[in-house]
Amino acid sequence: MNENAFEPYPVFETERLKLRPMAKEDTELVFKFNSNLESLKYVARDPWTEMDQAIEKMKIFEDAYKKREAIWWVYHLKSEDKPIGYGGIFNIEKANNKAEIGYGLLPGYSGKGFMTEALGKMVDFGVNKLKLHRIYAIIDPGNIGSEKVIEKFEFKKEGVLKDHFYARKKYFDMGMYALINKNIDW
């Protein structure tokens, strides 16, 4: 893994989005996403009820970045000058040269191609800058939109993790998708 890719903090632009570093002022965005059942429809998580949960999560994001175990971006809609979601590359395992990728949009922004734009930049960073061998995504099998967008970037479904998470008084199956970067020369 190329740890030099973390500095300076990469910023990306697409036609409609700016992917910028997560900052303290994004605590409200993180809370808004994680406290909304519509946002969490395909996320195996109980909705947050306290802003302190978002504050704690922001500290976790910051600490993981400092340790080079994660990197997170806010998706900032350029035309309206506002954040519409966030995502990142996390659970980075240096010894195995792999990481998880995750992403989400606030309600009202799904199905408009924003995720394809953002994910393209994130995957490119993981493959060509971080030089990860394996990037994986864990997706609720009911989330057809997420499955379609991840497959655009050549992620392949490896199977289903049965009853993988428990939240909201039920178990969630999760599809395991992965992109193997065969261009890594150790």
Sign of torsion over alpha carbons 177, 120, 149, 181: negative
DSSP 31-61: HHHHT-TTTTTTS-SPPP--HHHHHHHHHHH
**Confidence at residue 115, expressed as pLDDT on a 0 to 100 scale:** 96
Element (H, E) at 158: strand 156-167
Q: Using one digit for the tens of pLDDT, what is the confidence trace for 40-80? A: 999 999 999 999 999 999 999 999 999 999 999 999 999 99
C-alpha to C-alpha distance for 124 and 129, rounded to whole angstroms: 7
For the whole model, what pTM was predicted?
A: 0.93
C-alpha to C-alpha distance for 103 and 117, rounded to whole angstroms: 12
Q: Which CATH architecture has domain 3-180?
A: 3-Layer(aba) Sandwich (3.40)
| pLDDT string in tens for the chain (186-residue length) | 899 999 999 999 999 999 999 999 999 999 999 999 999 999 999 999 999 999 999 999 999 999 999 999 999 999 998 999 999 999 999 999 999 999 999 999 999 999 999 999 999 999 999 999 999 999 999 999 999 999 999 999 999 999 999 999 999 999 999 999 987 654
